[in-house]
Amino acid sequence: AQSVTQPDIHITVSEGASLELRCNYSYGATPYLFWYVQSPGQGLQLLLKYFSGDTLVQGIKGFEAEFKRSQSSFNLRKPSVHWSDAAEYFCAVGAWMDSSYKLIFGSGTRLLVRP
Partner 1 sequence: NAGVTQTPKFQVLKTGQSMTLQCAQDMNHEYMSWYRQDPGMGLRLIHYSVGAGITDQGEVPNGYNVSRSTTEDFPLRLLSAAPSQTSVYFCASSERQGYHGYTFGSGTRLTVV
C-alpha to C-alpha distance for 23 and 16, rounded to whole angstroms = 22
C-alpha to C-alpha distance for 66 and 58, rounded to whole angstroms = 9
**Near partner 1 by CB under 8 A: residue from 32, 64, 73, 77:** 32
Work out whether 105 is an interface residue with partner 1 (CB under 8 A). Answer: yes
Work out whether 102 is an interface residue with partner 1 (CB under 8 A). Answer: yes
Of 52 and 70, CB closest to partner 1: 52
Do you know the residue count of the chain? Answer: 115
Within 10 Å of residue 74's Cβ, how many Cβ atoms? 28
Binding site for partner 1 (CB under 8 A): 4, 9, 32, 34, 36, 41-46, 49, 51, 90, 94, 100-108
